[in-house]
Amino acid sequence: MSCSRSTNMHKDITQKLFALAQGAKSIVVTTHINSDGDGMVASLALQMLLKMNGLASTLVTDGEDISRYGFLMRDQVVEPFHDQMRCDLCIVLDCNSFDRIGNRRLLVDTAINVVVLDHHVVEHNPIPATLSLIDHAYGSVGILLWHCLKSAISKLDASSRKYIADCVYVTILNDSNNFSNANTNHAMFATAAELAREGILPHLLHMAYLQNHSAKEMLYVGKSLANIRLLADDSFLFLHSDYALAQELEINPSDYMSVTRWVQGVSGLKAIAYFREDHPGDWKISLRSLELNVQEIAARYGGGGHRKASGLSLKGSLQEVQQIIFSALQTAHPIS
Ligand SMILES: [Mn+2]
């Protein structure tokens, strides 16, 4: 890991980004499918930064419910993707692959210029970009924005800076799971200290973002936890939420927070695999391990992420997809 590097070598791309933005008649900011509190919230921050510089943009979603970011909404311009959408400049955050952008590939393919800002390892189908900054040393893409657009952010008034700091802090809460994931490091704390200096209130952001669960969501989590199974001499923990559960509770599972966070820290495990059935036979799988390289497994099946935390999609019955993951974990490489 090049963690120490990230504290010293932030590359400020403000000039290049703003040159592209000023030359564009229309700007889209977007992120990966199954958006999360890093990509989506970093998009909110970037839209604000552009707006404060007189540059209008549209945040294009996949149509997902983004109400859980309601506490960060300030007249943002957000539109779900449709086929007729076009833009001069398409800025993609927290994603560098066509595999993770879904139908919004059309926006990238037809844009005059594309900017990719990300902190994931480059896997399949990289998105070609006019300007790209991809560095896995950053704990969240929000942290990347904070440092690499610093010369623009520092010129904002105090309240806009505070807004962007709030957003960046939420991206940290999301990607570090409240400073508990393996990406928590000196650079992340140093960034958090800078954000605190801008006046953010971490306890309120924590409550608004990480503790904002409905009773229904807790029921979904609880019923998923009741499915815990231990395999391979109790070294693999598997759990799942099937489509029937989502239907029973009348929820869209992809609108909910990660169930894996509730099993992180279970002692004696080599790996955790969480299986979520979003449509019948259509499983989104999250892999977590401190010992095994789960990114290799995810990449083999068209997914991606980080060595210790990755995701992929598989089709089949629960038994079938669990067998695939079980075999892959048994032959997985240790993290060197
Ligand atoms: Mn991220």
Let me know if residue 335 belongs to a domain: no
Question: In the prediction, which pLDDT does 9 show?
Answer: 66
Distance of CA 223 from the midpoint of ligand 1 (Å):
27
Distance of CA 117 from the midpoint of ligand 1 (Å):
10
- Note the pLDDT tens digit of each residue in 73-132: 999 999 999 999 999 999 999 999 999 999 999 999 999 999 999 999 898 899 999 999
Distance of CA 311 from the midpoint of ligand 1 (Å):
12
Q: What percent of the chain has pLDDT over 70?
A: 97
Distance of CA 93 from the midpoint of ligand 1 (Å):
8
Who's near 9: CB < 8 A, 6+ residues apart? Answer: none
Is a pLDDT exceeding 60 seen at residue 1?
A: no
What is the arithmetic mean of pLDDT over 21-42? 96
Of 175, 210, 245, the one marking the end of a domain is 210
Domain containing 29 equals 3-210
**Co-location of 166 and 287 in the same domain:** no
Q: What's the CATH number where 161 sits? A: 3.90.1640.10
**Co-location of 205 and 58 in the same domain:** yes
- Note the pLDDT tens digit of each residue in 294-312: 999 999 999 988 899 999 9
Closest CA to 49 of 18, 26, 25: 18
**Co-location of 175 and 55 in the same domain:** yes
**Sheet of 271-279: strands edge to edge?**
229-231, 236-241, 271-279, 282-288, 309-315, 304-305
Q: What's the CATH number where 270 sits? A: 3.10.310.30
Could you count the other beta carbons within 10 Å of the beta carbon of residue 30?
Answer: 28
Question: In the prediction, which pLDDT does 257 show?
Answer: 63
Distance of CA 143 from the midpoint of ligand 1 (Å):
9
**Co-location of 21 and 154 in the same domain:** yes
Distance of CA 48 from the midpoint of ligand 1 (Å):
19
In DSSP terms, which residues pair with 115 in a beta bridge? 91, 131
Question: In the prediction, which pLDDT does 279 show?
Answer: 93
Please give the C-alpha separations between residue 248 and each of 12, 243, 244, 251, 288, in angstroms, as whole numbers. 49, 9, 6, 8, 27
What is the arithmetic mean of pLDDT over 283-304? 95
Of 210, 245, 262, the one marking the end of a domain is 210
Distance of CA 199 from the midpoint of ligand 1 (Å):
23
What is the arithmetic mean of pLDDT over 235-258? 89
Of 191, 210, 229, the one marking the end of a domain is 210
**Sheet of 131-134: strands edge to edge?**
78-80, 58-61, 27-31, 89-93, 113-118, 131-134
Question: In the prediction, which pLDDT does 305 show?
Answer: 85
Is a pLDDT exceeding 60 seen at residue 8?
A: no
Question: In the prediction, which pLDDT does 123 show?
Answer: 80
Question: In the prediction, which pLDDT does 81 show?
Answer: 98
**Co-location of 13 and 118 in the same domain:** yes
Let me know if residue 336 belongs to a domain: no
Is a pLDDT exceeding 80 seen at residue 2?
A: no
Question: What is the number of domains present in the chain?
Answer: 2
pTM equals 0.78
**Co-location of 221 and 190 in the same domain:** no
Contact yes or no for 107/86 (Cβ under 8 A): yes
Per-residue confidence band for 6, with pLDDT thresholds at 50, 70 and 90: very low
Per-residue confidence band for 254, with pLDDT thresholds at 50, 70 and 90: confident
